[in-house]
């Protein structure tokens, strides 16, 4: 009898250990197996987003890195190589007025026509060393003059090249640091399109470019009808942009682009977009237009200049602009022709390559192109034979049409 009880106890213990081992192996298999399900969220399901809006969610803590909510609309130079120094930023965040070293006070005087100021002012973020991209913009989509009857003007927005060790990055070449003032002044004399301020030209100072440009345009371009603001590595179909702006009233509020909603601050310290809760404690950013390229009316330009002067500086420039819009209770307008995250290959047309003039001829902004890409696409779209397409069969004829 005693032996029977002992055997029964041994069997129970064996079953218990076996069950525990099975649960352990199952949990390890579940943790290691790939999954295609979306990360869990702790909020109620949102309504279906408006067509044209990009909806981003950061991953839960400890999960994979957050989606590239900013990677696609950030120019390569001068992106920092290490984490942001928030201590230094917080100590200097109230320094928001810097001298204008190179000005273009006559940029918006018009061309003598009775209409006055330009119909479209193109403002491009650049850095001192990126002369090649500026030349590509000047001689392709950013050329000044009359386009489809509209007067177009252009400026490049720059700060001082950063000194050795700024933000933990290596400095630009010694020759550039020594001669950049003379080089930029010579470039300004040749093209009359350089705006240079006395703050360091770093990625997290792009917000300073934002507020200084808004103040400059309000003072020197009070009659401008519309403003396009973007990066130097974008391709802009100015004809399509002007057609989009044709029925718009510059005296009414409007800011249109690749609108991003529900983007959550990235809390991973290793990310260059890390934002601690002490700097921004809300769970999501306000809606904003991707900084690669957006367009706004003259009325909105002047109102934004005033609003941004009252909003505390934030180290991500396009999010900061969204905060200024929120203060004005303005909602940015999404449009699918602004592609600040590049062009995905359409499943309905797998024969087309993403670098194909058939895509670009019906868009306004495409982000992430090299200077050579900008040159090539401009030639393909503006050649003597008209737009060239990479596929052999004909494309539907007719003028450019915007979707609903």
Domains, the chain, ordered by start: 84-162+178-343+352-382 (3.90.550.50)
Strand, coil or helix: what is 86?
A: helix
pTM (two decimals)? 0.72
Tell me the per-residue pLDDT of 99-149, one tens digit each, with 9 for 90 and over: 999 999 999 986 666 567 899 999 999 999 999 999 999 999 999 999 999
Report the range of poorest mean pLDDT among 58-72, 102-116, 173-187, 367-381. 58-72
Write the CA distances from 396 to 283, 358, 389, 402, integer angstroms.
45, 11, 12, 14
48 versus 218: the higher-pLDDT residue is: 218
Confidence grade of residue 68 (pLDDT, cut at 50, 70, 90): very low
Query: 41-50, 103-112, 388-397: which has the minimum mean pLDDT?
Result: 41-50
**Among candidates 287, 285, 292, which has minimal Cα distance to 259?**
287
- Judge contact between 296 and 103, C-beta under 8 A: no
Identify which has the larger pLDDT, 265 or 382: 265
Whether the upstream peptide bond of residue 374 has omega within 30° of 0, thus cis, is: no
Residue 351 has pLDDT above 80, yes or no: no
Q: Is the pLDDT of residue 190 over 60?
A: yes
Q: Please indicate whether residue 207 or residue 83 has the higher confidence score (pLDDT).
A: 207
β-pairing, 234-236 vs 255-261, is unpaired
pLDDT at 17: 45
Residue 94 has pLDDT above 70, yes or no: no
- Write the pLDDT tens digit of every residue in 3-30: 444 445 555 545 554 555 454 444 434 3
The pair of three-digit structure tokens given for residue 259, joined into one six-digit string: 């609108």
Residues 266-318: tens digit of each pLDDT:
988 888 788 888 889 999 999 999 888 999 999 999 999 999 999 999 989 99
Mean pLDDT, to the nearest integer, of 46-58? Answer: 46
- The per-residue pLDDT for 337 is 76
CA gap 5, 71 in Å, rounded: 67
The reported pLDDT for the residue numbered 203 is 81
Strands (E) located in 161-280: 194-200, 226-231, 234-236, 255-261
Q: How crowded is residue 4: how many other Cβ atoms within 10 Å of its Cβ?
A: 8
**What pLDDT, on a 0 to 100 scale, did the predictor assign at position 368?**
77
pLDDT at 66: 42
Name the pLDDT band for 401 (thresholds 50, 70, 90).
very low
**Identity of the highest mean pLDDT range in 13-22, 274-283, 339-348, 375-384:** 274-283
Of the pLDDT bands very low, low, confident and very high (cuts 50, 70, 90), residue 63 is very low
Which whole number is the average pLDDT over 166-177? Answer: 46
pLDDT confidence of residue 370: 84
Higher pLDDT, residue 365 or 11 = 365
Give 391 or 276, the one with higher predicted confidence.
276
**Lowest-pLDDT range of 124-128, 207-211, 381-385:** 381-385
Identify which of 225, 338, 218 has the alpha carbon closest to the alpha carbon of residue 288. 338
Confidence at residue 375, expressed as pLDDT on a 0 to 100 scale: 87
Choice among 16-30, 61-75, 363-377 with the minimum mean pLDDT: 61-75
For the cut 50, the answer to whether the pLDDT of residue 67 exceeds it is no
76 vs 174, higher pLDDT: 174
């Amino acid at each position: 009898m005693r032996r029977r009880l002992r055997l029964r106890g041994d069997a129970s213990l064996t079953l218990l250990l076996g069950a525990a081992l099975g649960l352990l192996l199952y949990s390890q298999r579940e943790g290691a197996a790939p999954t295609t399900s979306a990360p869990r969220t702790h909020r109620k399901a949102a309504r279906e987003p408006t067509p044209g809006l990009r909806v981003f969610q950061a991953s839960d803590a400890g999960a994979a890195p957050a989606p590239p909510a900013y990677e696609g609309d950030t120019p390569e130079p001068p992106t920092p190589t290490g984490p942001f120094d928030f201590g230094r930023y917080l100590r200097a965040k109230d320094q928001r007025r810097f001298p204008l070293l190179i000005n273009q006070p006559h940029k918006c005087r018009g061309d003598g026509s009775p209409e006055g100021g330009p119909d479209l002012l193109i403002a491009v973020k650049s850095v001192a060393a990126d002369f090649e991209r500026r030349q590509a913009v000047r001689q392709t989509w950013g050329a000044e003059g009359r386009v489809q009857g509209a007067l177009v003007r252009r400026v490049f927005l720059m700060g001082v090249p950063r000194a050795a060790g700024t933000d933990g990055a290596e400095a630009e070449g010694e020759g550039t640091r020594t001669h950049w003032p003379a080089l930029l002044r010579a470039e300004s004399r040749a093209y009359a399109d350089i705006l240079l301020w006395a703050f360091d030209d770093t990625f997290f100072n792009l917000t300073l470019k934002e507020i200084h440009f808004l103040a400059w345009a309000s003072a020197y371009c009070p009659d401008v009808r519309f403003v396009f603001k973007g990066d130097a590595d974008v391709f802009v179909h100015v004809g399509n942009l002007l057609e989009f702006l044709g029925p718009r009233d510059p005296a009414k509020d409007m800011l249109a682009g690749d609108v991003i909603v529900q983007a959550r601050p990235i809390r991973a310290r290793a990310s260059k977009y890390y934002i601690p809760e002490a700097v921004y404690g809300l769970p999501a950013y306000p809606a904003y237009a991707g900084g690669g390229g957006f367009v706004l009316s003259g009325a909105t330009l002047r109102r934004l200049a005033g609003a941004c002067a009252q909003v505390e500086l934030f180290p991500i420039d396009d999010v900061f602009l969204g905060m200024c819009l929120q203060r004005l209770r303005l909602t940015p307008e999404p449009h699918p022709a602004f592609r600040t995250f590049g062009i995905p290959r359409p499943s309905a047309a797998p024969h087309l390559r993403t670098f194909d003039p058939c895509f670009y001829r019906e868009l306004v902004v495409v982000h992430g192109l090299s200077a050579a890409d900008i040159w090539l696409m401009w030639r393909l779209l503006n050649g003597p034979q008209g737009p060239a397409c990479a596929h052999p069969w004909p494309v539907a004829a007719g003028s450019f049409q915007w979707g609903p």
